Structure 1
Amino acid sequence: MEIYRFDKKAGKKITHFESDFIMSRIMMTSKPAHIGCMHLEENGVIGYHDAVVPQLLLIVEGEGWVCGEDEERVHVQTGDAVFWTKGEGHETTTKKGLTAIVIESEELNPSNFMPLRDTF
C-alpha cells in the first residue's frame, strides 16, 4: 500500500490559454479504466478483500482509515490517494463518513504523477 497526495499543495499552476488555476495530476492510462465514486456514511466500511486489478482510492471528502495486507490501519483524509496493487488485500473504514473516487485499471502507476504523502 502506498499513499500519495493530490491536494492543492501537490499541484502546479496552469496559465496556458489565459488560465489561472492549480492542477493536481492523478493518472493517465492507455488501457481501459473503471472510475467510480464511493459514498461511505458514518461508520461505513469497504470490507477486506483482494484488489482484482491495481486500484487507486482518492479521498475527496471526509476521513477514515485504510489498511493493506499487513492490516496496519493508516489514517487518511481529503487529498490523500491510496494505491493497492493487484491481489493486495485491503480495507477502508470511517467513523464520520467519507467520499472517494476509485480508479481501477491493469495499468496504474500513480508515482508518475503524484508525490508520496510523506514527502511534504
Structure 2
Amino acid sequence: MSEVVIVIGDRMGKGQKVAAGIDSVAGCRAIVVPGMAADMKLGDVMHKENADLGISFCGSGGAGALTAKNKYGYSERHGMRSPEEGETAIADGCKVLGFGFMDTEELGRRIATAYLKKNPR
C-alpha cells in the first residue's frame, strides 16, 4: 500500500496542526513547506514529492492554489472556509485546496479521510 502524500503551504509558515491531523490517518503523510510565504512554493514541493494533494493557506486561500494551477496544471478550488468545502472539492477531483487560515487537526483528519474515501489504497 502506497502512502498518500499531502503537502501543506501556509503564508505565515504554519500548518503543523493540520499536518498532525493528516498524520493521524493511517496511510497518510503530511509535508509542511517551511518558512514564510510557503503557500507560493506549494506547487513546486508537490511536483518534487509527486504528492497526491496540496493544501494552501493564506488570507483568501487563493494565492498558492492558483500558483500551483498556473505552473503545474493542478486542478484547484480556493476561497474555502470549512472542512465540508474541502471534502466536496476532493469529491469533485481537485488536487489543490485553498483555504483561509485554518490550521486545525480536524481539517487535516477530514481532508485525509475524504481523499482516502475517493482514492482507496
- TM-score (norm. length: structure 2): 0.30
Larger radius of gyration: 1
Name the one with the larger helix percent: 2
- Give the structure, 1 or 2, with the largest relative contact order (CA under 8 Å, sep 6 or more): 1
Name the one with the larger strand percent: 1
